[in-house]
Amino acid sequence: MDAVEESCLTVDGIFRLDAEQEKILELARPQLALVPLGYSVSLLLWGPHGPGTQLPFQSIVWQVIDIVFRELEAAGGDAQSLQTVSLVQVSAHEEAWDLLRPDGRALQVMDMEPLGLVVEEAMEIAVPDAQAAIGVYARGLGALPAPADGCWATRGAPATGHPLPDTRCLPWVVERLLEGNSLTFLLLCVTLPGVAAGPDTSRAEILAALGLAQRVKTLAKTISATLWDPAQEVTARRTEIRELRMELLAGAGLPEQKTAVARLRRALRELQWDTARWQQEVAMLGLRLEAAQRKQEAAEWDLEASLQSHQQERQACRQRLLQVLGDQQRLAEEQREALDRQYRELLQEVLRDAVELAARNQQLREARGLGSADATTQTP
């Protein structure tokens, strides 16, 4: 433990990866909030015994994706938009894998100004929210040819640039993430003896992790937002080309001419790359616009169909209501006529009975009158 006692290292915090991920993310949240403002954030996860696709690491990556999308939604307000994502993993086997490609072909990591680290031919996909991005990431993990132990670095961009200076990909990528134009958040995961199940982290691995942490703590760099405008980049490249042409026409010496020609060729290649990227973005925006127009047309057609269906149902309901009212009116008229006829028949019967009763009363009175007269005549 002599090497450990020689220096004193102050860390931001010590947490359990399986139970205190929220506290870990609270430390990274201020940095992740700067992503919508154009700042690049590098999240380095280091674990010596488990692959980069193990569950605790996956959970952290999922939550980081969710936080970034929440910040983008907060910065965009109520406006609905699609976000373009690329998912590339650089393994300890010095290979870069595009999680969005089902063919599992290894890609090449490059350095390109002003974007920084990019991956040649990395695929982009437009997603509406964090859940879609997490789903794409989870599906991509299943397409990896073989998981690699140690540190995984996730970066993505569909562009080309200068290839790596040597064949060792991962150390160069980690160095660029630590010293480049990006905010760095380092998470070291070690297993202490008797603390958790599984193999313990060796002394050499702990010393290497502490050395990396010490380097990150003492690293001083200036971070600026990466605001990449294709039109401005094309204008800058054309200005540089004009200046190089003027240098060539000035008749400088042969070595300087060769240098100027090399710079001119490099500027032309970068201009072609920028033009190709610009064309891809324009084509992608055109596809998004066409998709939005098709959705709008489909929504308008559905609305028109719903309106017509509602009008037809309302007309049919009105006709049924008028028919029912007409039937009720005819039924009421028939019932009224039937009652009128019944009342008239009853009135006629009552009148006949009254006439018969009056006639009988008259006959009875006449019969009584005749009987009284006969009685009077017979009396002496």
Q: What are the distances in angstroms from CA 276 to CA 12, 101, 107, 158?
A: 43, 21, 19, 11
CA neighbor of 196 nearest in space, from 15, 331, 369, 349: 15
- Give the least confident one: 159-173, 288-302, 317-331: 159-173
- Residue 65 pLDDT class (50, 70, 90 cuts): confident
What average pLDDT score do residues 143-149 get?
47
pLDDT per residue as tens digits for the range 331-368: 999 999 999 999 999 999 999 999 999 888 888 888 88
CA neighbor of 49 nearest in space, from 175, 151, 182, 185: 151
Which tokens is 267 given?
Answer: 């500027």
DSSP for 48-113?
Answer: SSSBTTSHHHHHHHHHHHHHHHHHHHHHHTT----EEE--EEE-TTS-EEETT-TT--EE-EEEET
Alpha-carbon distance 158 to 124, whole Å? 7
Note the pLDDT of residue 127. Answer: 87
User: How is residue 44 annotated by DSSP?
Assistant: E
Alpha-carbon distance 254 to 155, whole Å? 41
Alpha-carbon distance 15 to 2, whole Å? 25
Q: Reply yes or no on whether the pLDDT at 47 is more than 80.
A: no
Other CB atoms within a 10 A radius of the CB of residue 141 amount to 18
pLDDT per residue as tens digits for the range 183-192: 888 777 777 6
Alpha-carbon distance 188 to 45, whole Å? 6
Total length of the chain: 380
Note the pLDDT of residue 158. Answer: 32
Note the pLDDT of residue 151. Answer: 37
pTM for the model:
0.50
Q: What are the distances in angstroms from CA 88 to CA 42, 108, 119, 168, 297?
A: 13, 11, 8, 17, 36
- Residue 319 pLDDT class (50, 70, 90 cuts): very high
Give Rg (Cα) of the chain: 46
Cβ neighbors of 54 (< 8 A, separation 6 or more) are: 47
SS3 percent helix, strand, coil of the chain, rounded to 5, is 60, 10, 30
3-state secondary structure of 214: helix
Note the pLDDT of residue 54. Answer: 57
Q: What is the 3-state secondary structure (H, E, C) of 281-305?
A: HHHHHHHHHHHHHHHHHHHHHHHHH
User: What's at 7, amino acid-wise?
Assistant: S
β partners of residue 96: 90, 107
What average pLDDT score do residues 162-170 get?
44
Alpha-carbon distance 137 to 98, whole Å? 10
